[in-house]
């Protein structure tokens, strides 16, 4: 009798907080690549992310961080690439073709350095300083991001290619939340609105929807909306 021992029993643990847009991106990608994750929620109210044990995992004290059987990767954008290259070889969400790959990396970087950072500028004062309103200057910089993405969607159906890639997952994880504080209107940003709706209609969103709802509920309370 031959017993198939080729079963993946390695533990993949994701350190996260429910509602984090960047953690949501990983939950959606894990669904896409059929990767099972054990979720470890950090208690942000108690600043668990600053505790010594977590700084050993992620010296930059951010979530998400992935521990794949002892190999630790942090920063959602890098985790997305790691999951795609390690578990998504048959998927079209990433590519080894240089000109496709660099477009994907470009847009992941745009989310990391611009869209998510601008979203954080809006959210940090609310969650860390109990502010009840979002400063106009932060909303203006979000508008600029919308305009950039609208322009990008003039020449491709998705953010980095004509098919969905991990860049869409990453940017969607931000825009699904920015939409709550600065609606992506059909009139001003028709392509971005259509992309947002298309992304919400994917099966992947089932893995991220709860996180968006959690953040929406928290914002409703904090902003007394």
Residues forming the site for ligand GSH (CB under 6 A): 20, 22, 49, 61-64, 75-77, 112, 120
Instruction: Assess contact for 173 and 208: CB atoms under 8 A.
Output: yes
Closest residue by Cα to residue 211 from 26, 7, 76: 26
Q: Name the residue nearer to ligand GSH (CB basis): 16 or 182.
A: 16
Residues 6+ apart with CB under 8 A from 205: 28, 199
Give the Cβ contact number of residue 46 at 10 Å.
Answer: 9
Cβ 215 to ligand GSH shortest distance, Å: 9
CB-count burial class (<10 Å; 0-12, 13-18, 19+) for 224: exposed
Cβ 76 to ligand GSH shortest distance, Å: 3
Q: Name the residue nearer to ligand GSH (CB basis): 24 or 189.
A: 24
Cβ 4 to ligand GSH shortest distance, Å: 36
Q: Name the residue nearer to ligand GSH (CB basis): 95 or 170.
A: 170
Distance from C-alpha of 174 to C-alpha of 184, rounded to nearest angstrom: 12
Q: Name the residue nearer to ligand GSH (CB basis): 120 or 202.
A: 120
Cβ 34 to ligand GSH shortest distance, Å: 22
């Amino acid at each position: 009798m031959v017993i198939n021992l080729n079963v993946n029993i390695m533990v993949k643990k994701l350190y996260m907080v429910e509602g984090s847009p960047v953690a949501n991106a990983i939950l959606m990608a894990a669904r896409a690549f059929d990767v099972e994750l054990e979720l470890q929620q950090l208690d942000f109210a108690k600043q668990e992310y600053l505790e010594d044990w977590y700084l050993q995992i992620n010296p930059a004290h951010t979530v998400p961080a992935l521990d794949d059987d002892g190999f630790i990767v942090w920063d959602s954008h890098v985790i997305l690439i790691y999951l795609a290259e390690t578990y998504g070889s048959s998927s079209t969400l990433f590519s080894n073709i240089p000109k496709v790959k660099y477009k994907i990396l470009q847009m992941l970087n745009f989310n990391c350095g611009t869209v998510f950072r601008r979203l954080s500028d809006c959210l940090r004062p609310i969650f860390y300083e109990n502010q009840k309103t979002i400063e106009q200057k932060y909303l203006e910089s979000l508008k600029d991001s919308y305009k950039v993405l609208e322009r990008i969607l003039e020449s491709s159906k998705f953010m980095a290619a004509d098919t969905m890639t991990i860049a869409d997952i990453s940017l969607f994880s931000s825009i699904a939340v920015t939409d709550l504080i600065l609606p992506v209107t059909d009139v001003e940003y028709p392509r971005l609105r259509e992309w947002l709706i298309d992304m919400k209609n994917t099966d992947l969103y089932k893995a991220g929807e709860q996180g968006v709802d959690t953040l929406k509920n928290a914002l409703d309370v904090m902003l007394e909306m």
